[in-house]
């Protein structure tokens, strides 16, 4: 499974994103953002399948839920920032 | 006990509020800090309350900042909008939660509209103050002493017309009258969680349009490398651990209010307040009543107001006497020297409560 992570600055937008995405039928879960990924120190992220990212991002934009970045978690374990 | 002091705080909370507090104490850790189950349960509890409040008050969940009480929210809002020396328009019925922060800041307070139950006077005086260069306005929705419902929609429209930012103090209206952030175009709306919204004490909400200057600085669980507070809501206004059990109870209180319906709650309160006012007049007391009145009635008894309240308490009726932390309102009504006895009905307003009050009053020793 190709997993992506959308990162958020705090738990509030991350939870709102989780709610919006689940309501739209997107399977996702909320996690702490890995330390090295979060430039500002601490944050939360939502994990979802890569195939759902193109639908998820406009949904978040429509709901005005700010997110930081989207990462693709490669099988090698090395994440790669996705350009949207 | 016949509890008629809902203006101070609500009692007889719904069982769901008590259950929610207990559930949070048993299951919730610190929201927005960890990723484990108990932390995420807490975060979900907090978000649920934000979403419910946002739905009830016409704003986005992020615009809902949790405070310890209405006073804290008013302080935050006033500190954001007002600079020392600024001219600020306030109604003649403000609580010390508005008057004292303005005084502490060194603002020039312009009291606009002192006539009780006279929305025309309130609007005319307010427009005058705005026209004369007020930098901000702060007004209560409902007087905590007299139950006077101010014409807040029209006041908000005036503020928008004169491009003056404003703060609405919804201490006595949240959960009892419609309050809509978007429709009013308010910069801030502050409210307690423990009065009309039926949550526990130690809870409050500050609805913020966009900007907010924090009163407290500290950890938010986000932006940790930044020595300054985050520049986004709600975290900008929420340093330190939130009162999760209180918020859980508040969430249940909001749900209860929405289920029963604020109009229904208000009608019950107003009906009893009107019935009470008429009866008190018949008993010969000086009663303050008018058309634009909610579930609160004040009267001047035939003895010291504190003595009257004490005698009523001895007869099992809880009311509040004195100045009710609102000397400005008493000054406007001419009761600064005597104070009043305030009867304030809650979500459980019922004819038997009015009946018990009147019965108790009739048994007071004659003067």
Contact A10, B220 (CB under 8 A): yes
Residues of chain B with pLDDT under 50: none
B367 is a domain residue? no
Q: Kind and range of the H or E element at B89? A: strand B87-91
**Tell me, what's the pLDDT at A80?**
86
Chain A residues with beta carbon closer than 8 angstroms to that of B44: 15
The string of pLDDT tens digits covering residues B160-195 is: 999 999 999 999 999 999 999 999 999 999 999 999
The domain total for chain B is 2
Regarding whether B274 and B215 lie in a shared domain, the answer is no
**Tell me, what's the pLDDT at A31?**
94
Domain boundary among B260, B288, B313: B260
Regarding whether B31 and B106 lie in a shared domain, the answer is yes
Contact A4, A49 (CB under 8 A): yes
How far apart are alpha carbons B233 and B208 in whole angstroms?
A: 8
Return the CATH fold of A3-81. Answer: Alpha-Beta Plaits (3.30.70)
How far apart are alpha carbons B103 and B101 in whole angstroms?
A: 5
**Tell me, what's the pLDDT at B315?**
97
Regarding whether B266 and B255 lie in a shared domain, the answer is no
Provide the CATH number for the domain around residue B68: 3.40.640.10
Q: What is the ipTM of this complex?
A: 0.87
Q: Does A67 touch chain B (CB under 8 A)?
A: no
Helix locations, B28-151, DSSP H: 37-57, 70-81, 96-105, 119-131
B25 is a domain residue? yes
Regarding whether B153 and B275 lie in a shared domain, the answer is no
Q: Coil, strand, or helix at residue B337?
A: coil
Regarding whether B313 and B223 lie in a shared domain, the answer is no
Regarding whether B277 and B142 lie in a shared domain, the answer is no
**Tell me, what's the pLDDT at A1?**
66
| Tokens encoding B311 | 């005698």
The answer to whether the Cβ–Cβ distance between A42 and B235 falls below 8 Å is no
| Cβ-based neighbours of B365, under 8 Å, separated by 6 or more | B311
Contact B3, B11 (CB under 8 A): yes
Regarding whether B136 and B189 lie in a shared domain, the answer is yes
The answer to whether the Cβ–Cβ distance between B32 and A11 falls below 8 Å is yes
| Overall pTM > 0.80 | yes
Q: How many residues does chain B have?
A: 367
The string of pLDDT tens digits covering residues A47-60 is: 999 999 999 999 99
Nearest 5 degrees, angle CA B28-CA B191-CA B52? 50
CA-CA-CA-CA torsion for B225, B229, B234, B237, nearest 10 degrees? 140
Domain boundary among B204, B225, B260: B260
The answer to whether the Cβ–Cβ distance between A9 and B222 falls below 8 Å is yes
Q: How many residues does chain A have?
A: 84
Q: How far does the CA of residue A47 sit from the closest CA of chain B (Å)?
A: 13
Question: How is chain A split into domains, by residue range?
Answer: 3-81
* The B188-192 sheet, strands edge to edge: B64-67, B204-208, B188-192, B166-169, B136-140, B87-91, B108-112
- Sign of the dihedral through C-alpha B301, B304, B310, B315: negative
| Tokens encoding B167 | 């703060």
The answer to whether the Cβ–Cβ distance between A9 and B225 falls below 8 Å is no
How far apart are alpha carbons B329 and B345 in whole angstroms?
A: 19
| Tokens encoding B186 | 């308010």
Provide the CATH number for the domain around residue B303: 3.90.1150.10
How far apart are alpha carbons B105 and B17 in whole angstroms?
A: 37
* Domain range enclosing B117: 15-260
Q: How far does the CA of residue B26 sit from the closest CA of chain A (Å)?
A: 21
The answer to whether the Cβ–Cβ distance between A10 and B31 falls below 8 Å is no
Q: Which residues of B sit within 8 Å Cβ distance of A?
A: 31-32, 34-35, 40, 43-44, 47, 50, 60-62, 220-226, 230, 232, 234-235
Burial class of B304 by CB neighbour count within 10 A (0 to 12, 13 to 18, 19+): middle
Give B328's Cβ-side CA count (13 Å radius): 22
Q: Does A12 touch chain B (CB under 8 A)?
A: yes
The answer to whether the Cβ–Cβ distance between A11 and B221 falls below 8 Å is yes
Give the closest residue to B145 by CA, choosing from B3, B306, B330, B310: B330
Burial profile B338-350: b = 16 or more Cβ within 10 angstroms, e = fewer? ebbbbbbbbbbbe
Residues of chain A with pLDDT under 50: none
Regarding whether B163 and B30 lie in a shared domain, the answer is yes
Q: How far does the CA of residue B132 sit from the closest CA of chain A (Å)?
A: 38
Regarding whether B156 and B47 lie in a shared domain, the answer is yes
**Tell me, what's the pLDDT at A19?**
96
How far apart are alpha carbons A54 and A17 in whole angstroms?
A: 14
Chain A residues with beta carbon closer than 8 angstroms to that of B218: none
Regarding whether B234 and B110 lie in a shared domain, the answer is yes
């Amino acid at each position: 499974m190709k997993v992506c992570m959308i990162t958020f600055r705090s738990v509030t937008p991350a939870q709102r994103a989780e709610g919006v995405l689940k309501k739209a039928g997107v399977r996702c879960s909320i996690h702490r953002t890995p330390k090295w990924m979060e430039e500002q120190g601490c944050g939360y992220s939502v994990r979802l399948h890569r195939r759902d990212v193109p639908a998820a991002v406009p949904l978040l934009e429509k709901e005005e839920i700010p997110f930081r970045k989207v990462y693709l978690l490669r099988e090698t374990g090395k994440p790669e920032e996705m350009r949207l | 006990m016949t509890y008629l002091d809902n203006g101070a705080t609500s009692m007889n909370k719904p069982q769901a509020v008590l259950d929610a507090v207990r559930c949070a104490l048993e299951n919730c850790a610190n929201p927005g800090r960890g990723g484990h189950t108990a932390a995420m349960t807490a975060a979900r509890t907090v978000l649920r309350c934000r979403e419910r409040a946002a739905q009830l008050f016409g704003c986005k969940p992020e615009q809902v900042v949790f405070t310890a009480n209405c006073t804290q929210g008013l302080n935050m809002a006033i500190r954001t909008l007002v600079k020392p020396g600024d001219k600020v328009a306030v109604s003649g019925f403000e609580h010390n939660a508005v008057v004292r922060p303005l005084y502490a800041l060194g603002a020039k307070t312009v009291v606009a509209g002192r006539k009780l139950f006279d929305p025309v006077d309130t609007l005319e005086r307010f427009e005058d103050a705005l026209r004369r260069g007020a930098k901000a306005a702060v007004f209560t929705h409902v007087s905590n002493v007299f139950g006077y419902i101010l014409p807040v929609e029209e006041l908000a429209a005036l503020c928008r017309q004169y491009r003056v930012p404003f703060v609405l103090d919804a201490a006595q209206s949240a959960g009892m009258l419609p309050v809509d952030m978007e429709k009013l175009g308010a910069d801030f709306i502050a409210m307690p969680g423990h009065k009309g919204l039926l949550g526990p004490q130690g809870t409050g909400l500050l609805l913020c349009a966009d900007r907010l200057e924090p009163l407290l600085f500290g950890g938010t669980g986000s932006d940790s490398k930044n020595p300054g507070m985050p520049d986004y809501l709600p975290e900008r206004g929420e340093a330190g651990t939130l009162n999760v059990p209180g918020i859980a109870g508040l969430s249940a209180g909001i749900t209860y209010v929405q289920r029963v319906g604020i109009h229904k709650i208000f009608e019950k309160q107003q009906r009893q307040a009107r019935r009470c006012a008429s009866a008190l007049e018949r008993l010969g007391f000086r009663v303050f009543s008018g058309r634009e009145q909610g579930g609160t009635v004040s009267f001047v008894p035939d003895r010291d107001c504190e003595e009257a309240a004490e005698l009523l308490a001895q007869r099992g009726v809880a009311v509040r006497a004195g100045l009710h932390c609102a000397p400005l309102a008493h000054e406007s009504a001419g009761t600064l020297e005597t104070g009043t006895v305030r009867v304030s009905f809650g979500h459980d307003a019922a004819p038997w409560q009015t009946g018990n009050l009147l019965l108790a009053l009739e048994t007071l020793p004659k003067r």
